[in-house]
Amino acid sequence: MNIILVSDSLAKSRSVTLSQGQVLLIAFGILLSGFVLAMATYFVTMKFAVDVRNPYLRSLVEALHQDDLRRNQVQTRDSLNGLAVKLGELQARILRLDAFGQRLAKAAGVKADEFHFDEKPGQGGPAPAASRELSMNEFQQMLDDISRTLDDRSDKLGVLDSLILDDRLTRKTIPTTMPVAMGYYSSNFGYRVDPFTGKQAFHTGVDLIAPTGTSVMAAAGGVVSQVATSSDYGNFIDVDHDNGLTTRYGHLSKTLVRVGDVVMKGQSIALVGATGRATGPHLHFEVRERGIPLNPNKFLSMKGDSSIVRASMGR
């Protein structure tokens, strides 16, 4: 870009050549100067408008001030509404967690008076030497932290609930209930003198003396896998507990269940008798793990039932 300068004081005209970058820089400087001048005029006018006797300027300043107040009020109201909604959600989640905690405490066997989920926790301490009010951002951050903490506690309580449920189901499928309510041991588990041959032989279960017709109960929950008759066991029932354990009830006078029936712990499944290889009415009770006989006393002693007189008469 060429600029020709002509003046009476100059003997001849002068020519100045400007590049495109220099032209843009000059144009930007002119625009920046105009903007700075406009802003300075605005601030000076606003600062001294109160001292000016012009009512128009006074009304303009007051209108701008009221507009700023209205915007701040709207923003504050929107923030408070958002915080109120967040607080309501947290309160509802706390109520659900309280109910969840009460149910878990009951399932775990914790006494009701040891945990008070419906009461506020006690807090206190000496008065602080210095304090300040929380800002809106700090309060919002605290609510977010509480929300994340509640999510974490809810997940952990869910895992604990699953563990307690699994434990309760496992306990229901372990044969710890005495199969007869009254009676005593006539033969224990292990080697004994066989009552028919007089020789030492291994006894795969325990014999519980009880009158004919006494109710036989399932030692644990499970599914009836076999109802049959044999020369050794007479009428017998096998129950599968779905964890590798099975129980057998032999010498029955009557069976009350069929193959495939689901039985609960303590449910009556048969009546005591003297069928099969028996010298008199009693219940032969076995516990097996994948077909291998186990000592039933190890399971029955878990409950500590004192209603049976365990008078062992040999092994």
Segment 81-109, tens digit of pLDDT? 767 777 777 777 777 777 777 777 776 66
pLDDT-derived band at 309 (thresholds 50, 70, 90) equals very low
Q: How many CB atoms lie within 10 A of CB 258?
A: 9
Tell me what the mean pLDDT of segment 57-77 comes to.
Answer: 69
DSSP string spanning 174-189? S--S-SSSS-EEEE-S
Single-letter residue type at 139? F
Angle at 79 between CA 130 and CA 95, to 5 degrees: 80
- Average pLDDT, integer, range 4-23: 62
Q: Is the pLDDT of residue 131 over 50?
A: yes
Q: Rounded to an integer, what distance in angstroms lies between the CA atom of residue 86 and that of residue 83?
A: 5
Instruction: Return phi, psi of residue 161, to 5°.
Output: -60, -40
**Quick check: 82 and 74 in contact, CB under 8 A?**
no
The residues pairing with 240 across neighbouring beta strands, listed in sequence order, are 223, 246
User: What are the tokens at 120?
Assistant: 């506020």
Query: Are 208 and 186 spatial neighbours (Cβ–Cβ below 8 Å)?
Result: yes
Nearby residues of 246 by Cβ (< 8 Å), 6 or more positions away:
222, 225, 238, 239, 240, 287, 288, 289
Q: Please, what is the average pLDDT of the chain?
A: 77
SS3 280: coil
* Domain spans, the chain: 184-300
Residue 205: pLDDT over 80: yes
Q: Could you give the CA distance from residue 240 to residue 262 in angstroms, rounded to a whole number?
A: 10
Which phi and psi (to 5°) does residue 291 adopt? 90, -10
Tokens read off for 142:
């605290």
Report CA 158 to chain centroid distance, whole Å: 1
Is 312 in contact with 189 (CB distance < 8 Å)? no
* Per-residue exposure over 164-194, b if at least 16 CB sit within 10 Å of its own CB, e if not: eeeeeeeebbbbbbbbbeebbbbbbbeebee
Q: Is the pLDDT of residue 270 over 90?
A: yes
More confident residue, 36 or 52: 36
- Fold of the domain built from segment(s) 184-300: Glucose Permease (Domain IIA) (2.70.70)
Whether residue 59 has pLDDT greater than 60: yes
Average pLDDT over residues 146-172: 71
Its pTM surpasses 0.85: no
Looking at the DSSP bridge assignments, the partners of residue 270 are 216, 255
Q: What is the pLDDT of residue 7?
A: 59
Average pLDDT value for residue range 216-236 = 95
